């Protein structure tokens, strides 16, 4: 677990946003998945920091970062952090929600992005129609509305094994870590709290203009819709490619950190 003393803070226009920093060299930014925080990259960050300057922020409303008190966009927060660091353009690496944030930033602030890795995601306008995923979405919404935190956490952790395995097929340390992070983020919010996130739209039609290298990385055990949408993303941008990591679903950075790091490192070396 990252100690509070290891975190740095950027005074945004709407509260302090936290990030971890390590290493030196060309900039790589790691953007975490939903409900958790930068620690999902704890098994990846040290290896990347041997050759690069690595920034791992806590997205607004997550981890140690401030909640929103006004409308905001993920991409604008990330762009503000990069400008504050005076360190762009950067290679952005995002998983799940973080992958959407990477894609949004590519579209809205292309001058700040040198290349991108999108894991377990495509664009924020993608809707997974898989019945398994729809059921989890319905259960998490029901549990939150009912204040059933235990039920919400159980549904949330279903993403770890994915639709093809049971949770006990996964190293128990992974759901434990994810659960700890998710409960901390959830504790920052109140039932019925207004969602102030402004979504980026018209994404798919704008993707053909993206001319920096883009790599999509997915666990082979994730839902077919997620994998297909990632392939569509790789096929739509001008310089896209895709990789599947076997034996993992939505969190290859945690379940297969060595393979995930190797894929990202190879991509960085080819730039």
Do 24 and 115 lie in one domain? The reply is: yes
At 173 the pLDDT is: 98
Domain boundary among 147, 162, 187: 187
Confidence of residue 107 (pLDDT cuts 50, 70, 90): very high
C-alpha to C-alpha distance for 19 and 37, rounded to whole angstroms: 10
Q: At what angle do helices 74-85 and 97-108 cross, to 10 degrees?
A: 70
Total number of domains in the chain: 2
Could you read off the pLDDT of 194-219 as tens digits, one per residue? Answer: 999 999 999 999 999 999 999 999 99
* Listed residue (241, 172, 150, 189) closest to 34, CA to CA: 189
Bin 93: left if φ > 0, else alpha if -120 < ψ < 50, else beta: beta
Determine the pLDDT at residue 201. 96
pLDDT bin (cut points 50, 70, 90) of residue 1 is: very low
Return d(Cα 213, Cα 216) in angstroms, integer: 10
pLDDT of residue 175 exceeding 70: yes
CA distance 216 to 243: 6
Same structural domain for residues 120 and 231? Answer: yes
116 and 137 in a single domain? The answer is: no
By the 10 Å C-beta count (0-12 exposed, 13-18 middle, 19+ buried), 253 is classed as buried
Longest Cα–Cα distance in the chain: 49
Q: Which residue has the tokens 């959407």?
A: 100
Confidence of residue 115 (pLDDT cuts 50, 70, 90): very high
Please, which residues have CB within 8 angstroms of residue 241's CB and are 6 or more apart in sequence? 213, 214, 215, 216, 234
Q: Which of 150, 168, 187 is the last residue of a domain?
A: 187
Angle at 83 between CA 114 and CA 199, to 5 degrees: 75
Residue 86 contacts residue 105 (beta carbons within 8 Å): no
Q: State the average pLDDT over residues 231-242.
A: 97
Residue with tokens 């039609």: 205
Query: What is the overall mean pLDDT for the chain?
Result: 95
Compute, in degrees rounded to 10, the torsion defined by CA atoms 172, 175, 181, 182. -150
CATH number of the domain enclosing 241: 3.40.50.1820
Mean pLDDT, residues 106-123 taken together:
96
Do 111 and 237 fall into the same domain? yes
Quick one: pLDDT at residue 209?
95
Beta bridge partners of 29: 55, 92
Please check whether residue 136 is in contact with residue 226, taking contact to mean a CB–CB distance below 8 angstroms.
no
d(CA 130, CA 132): 5
User: Residue 98 is part of which domain span?
Assistant: 4-128+194-270
Percent of all residues in the chain with a pLDDT value above 90, rounded to a whole number: 91
Give yes or no: residues 143 and 204 share one domain. no
Q: Are residues 81 and 212 in the same domain?
A: yes
Looking at the structure, tell me whether residues 14 and 118 fall in a common domain: yes
Three-state SS string over 165-182 comes to CCHHHCCCHHHHHHHHHH
pLDDT at residue 2 is higher than 70: no
Residue 87's pLDDT is what? Answer: 83
Q: Are residues 244 and 123 in the same domain?
A: yes
pLDDT in tens, 244-256: 999 999 999 999 9
Per the CB < 8 A criterion, the answer to whether 104 and 200 are in contact is yes
Q: Which of 143, 160, 187 is the last residue of a domain?
A: 187
**What whole-number distance in Å separates Cα of residue 207 and Cα of residue 211?**
9
Kindly state the helix (H) or strand (E) to which residue 263 belongs, with its residue range: helix 257-270
pLDDT at 4: 52
Residues 15 and 146 reside in one and the same domain? no
264 and 139 within one domain: no
Q: How far is it, in rounded angstroms, from Cα 66 to Cα 90?
A: 23
Has residue 5 got a pLDDT over 80? Answer: no
Instruction: Indicate if 173 and 256 belong to the same structural domain.
Output: no
Asked if 9 and 86 sit in the same domain, the reply is yes
Task: Give percent of the chain above pLDDT 70.
Answer: 98
Task: Return the structure tokens found at 51.
Answer: 């050759």
Confidence at residue 126, expressed as pLDDT on a 0 to 100 scale: 87
Under the banding of pLDDT at 50, 70 and 90, the label for residue 50 is: very high
């Amino acid at each position: 677990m990252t100690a509070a003393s290891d975190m740095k803070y950027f005074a945004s226009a709407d509260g302090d946003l936290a990030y971890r920093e390590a290493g030196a060299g060309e900039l790589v930014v790691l953007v975490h998945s939903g409900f958790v925080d930068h620690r999902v990259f704890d098994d990846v960050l040290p290896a990347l920091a041997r050759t690069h300057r690595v920034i791992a922020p806590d997205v607004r409303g997550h981890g140690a970062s401030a909640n929103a008190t006004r409308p905001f966009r993920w991409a604008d927060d990330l762009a503000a952090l990069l400008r504050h660091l005076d360190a762009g353009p950067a290679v952005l690496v995002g998983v799940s929600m973080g992958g959407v944030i990477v894609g949004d930033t590519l579209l809205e602030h292309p001058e700040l992005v040198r290349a991108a890795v999108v894991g377990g995601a495509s664009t924020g306008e993608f809707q997974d129609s898989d019945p398994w995923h729809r059921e989890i979405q319905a259960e998490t919404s029901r549990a939150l509305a009912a204040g059933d935190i235990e039920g919400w956490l159980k549904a949330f952790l279903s993403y770890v094994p994915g639709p093809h395995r049971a949770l006990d097929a996964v190293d128990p340390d992974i759901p434990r870590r994810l659960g700890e992070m998710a409960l901390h983020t959830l504790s920052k919010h109140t039932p019925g709290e207004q969602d102030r996130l402004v979504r980026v739209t018209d994404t798919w039609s704008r993707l053909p203009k993206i001319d920096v290298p883009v790599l999509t990385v997915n666990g082979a055990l994730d839902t077919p819709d997620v994998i297909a949408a990632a392939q569509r993303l790789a096929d739509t941008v001008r310089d896209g490619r895709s990789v599947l990591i076997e034996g993992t679903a939505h969190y290859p950075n945690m379940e297969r950190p060595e393979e995930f790091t190797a894929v990202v490192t190879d991509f960085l070396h080819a730039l």
